[in-house]
Amino acid sequence: MEETRVASATFIEELVKKYFKTDAEPEANIDIGGVADVISTAYNTDGEVGEVSAADLESEDSAPIVQLANRIIEDAYISGASDIHIEPQEKNLIVRYRVDGMCSEKLRLPSQVSNALCTRLKIMCNLDIAERRLPQDGRIVFKKYTKKNIDIDLRVATGPMNHGEKVVMRILDKTKTTLPLPALGFSEENLEKYRACIQQPYGMILHCGPTGSGKSMTLYSALAEINTPDVNIQTAEDPIEYTLPGLNQMQMNRQIGLTFARALRCYLRMDPDVILVGEIRDSETAGIAVEAALTGHLLVSTLHTNDAPSTVSRIGEMGVEAFNVSASLLCVCAQRLMRRVCKNCKTPYTPEGREKELMEKALGWTGEVFKANPQGCPTCGGMGYKGCVGIHELMVNSEELTAAINSEMEVAGLKRIAMKDGMKTLHQDSFLKVKQGLTTVEEALSNVPPDLIT
């Protein structure tokens, strides 16, 4: 006997995508824990969201939406993701992970689940669930909400989009330890220069690069190398990403007025040897940071600039006098993270045409290098890449560079002087990693454009 059944358009679309997936579609509709249960339990057959009470959003054992939030975070952690993007669209809620610097779609849900999932995540990080018009920032201590042995925190940012609130979560693995400096991808020459800088008794060391370029890991690794019982290290962070024994770490709290500038003023009265400032964001912080570096302290911090020479200009734009910048600066390290080509399935080839020309210009060398296997292998999950490798542009201060900074020379001039002093640009270091078989020409060019100044 035939029977007619009715289902919502959204539910049918999900089933079609799940069971009739084409090669062109991303690997999106994976089953994370009880996703199917979430859809069937939290939604009525007409596609409207079912009643989810505030109490339901508190316990993992109650509402499926609570289980879904946990499963997404757990799956992202196990997958090695650095960030989770929860993005409301017109017809779907899309969940994406950033793994090895690349975003990929992992899950699609009906758009009606967006508000409930966002509300649950806001509850987990103590944000205002009623405020959906303004961006909010928070932090999730995940071990409070899971029975699994996963000790991570998540830095959460929400923002209003045209189809609802987007949530981005940065995973901070508290069990992850720092890496020794040689494991971060420094060339032998850069490693020797950088170690000499961090051993100085005073001065300013700056790291620059976009979010996710490995600045924090490099700073923590540097502090771990100089962290001895006779050195007093104080840090001001937002948030504290890694907890290191022997360091005095302070979490910023802008809601009560605890800013980087205020923490720096406090630290100058606490007999520090080394001060880490999470980020120089404004003129007040920049001024106090330079003052600390000029008064017998080693100051390390980060900025968001594209390369090392432009960092000097950026500090000047914040109102710091050029002679104070030149007097305090030890070095600037610009960095990026590139995907590491899979050791098991990489394919050798000899570059030709533009690739050969760029390699010869960057290194004065051409020869056999490797490219990623498009099909990949089980080791890299079919991606052709696995893990990351760092590239660095280390600009160490010198007499000629000091004079150029004092004369407020343009960035291009500073770069020429630094290169004459031995600085290897990000582009040159990226091709050095290609030569060493750690990454590919394609990956190098996608991360850093060729140098305009030689």
Q: Where are the domains of the chain?
A: 9-173, 181-447
Q: What is the pLDDT of residue 394?
A: 98
Between residues 452 and 228, which one has the greater pLDDT?
A: 228
Q: What type of residue is 341?
A: V
Looking at the domain that runs over 9-173, which CATH code has it been given?
3.30.450.90
Q: Which two tokens stand for residue 8?
A: 């919502």
Instruction: Kindly report the number of other CB atoms within 10 A of residue 374's CB atom.
Output: 10
Residue carrying the six token digits 């910023």: 252
Q: Cα–Cα distance between 320 and 326 in angstroms, integer?
A: 10
* CA dihedral sign of residues 36, 42, 45, 48: negative
| Nearest to 85, CA basis, from 56, 54, 133, 121 | 121
The CB-side HSE value for 285 (13 A sphere, CA atoms) comes to: 20
To 10 degrees, the CA torsion angle through 288, 294, 297, 299? 60
- The whole-model pTM stands at 0.81
Q: What type of residue is 360?
A: E
CATH superfamily assigned to domain 181-447:
P-loop containing nucleotide triphosphate hydrolases (3.40.50.300)
Q: At what angle do helices 353-363 and 426-435 cross, to 10 degrees?
A: 110
Q: Cα–Cα distance between 430 and 355 in angstroms, integer?
A: 13
Q: Which two tokens stand for residue 288?
A: 């106090």
Is a pLDDT exceeding 50 seen at residue 47? no
Percent of the chain past pLDDT 90, that is, above it, reads 73
Which residues share a beta bridge with 233? 274
How much of the chain is in helix, strand and coil states, percent to nearest 5?
35, 25, 40
**Is residue 72 within 8 Å of residue 79, measured between CB atoms?**
no
Percent of the chain past pLDDT 70, that is, above it, reads 86
> Strands (DSSP E) along 215-304, which ranges?
233-237, 248-251, 274-277, 298-303
Helices (H), 227-317: 260-267, 283-294, 308-317
**Is residue 441 within 8 Å of residue 348, measured between CB atoms?**
no
Confidence of residue 11 (pLDDT cuts 50, 70, 90): low
Q: Cα–Cα distance between 422 and 164 in angstroms, integer?
A: 50
pLDDT tens digits along 255-305: 899 999 999 999 999 999 999 999 999 999 999 999 999 999 999 999 999
pLDDT tens digits along 385-401: 999 999 999 999 999 99
Is a pLDDT exceeding 60 seen at residue 35? no
Find the range with the poorest average confidence among 19-33, 225-239, 288-302: 19-33
List Cα–Cα distances, 125 to 11, 157, 158, 372, in angstroms.
31, 10, 11, 40
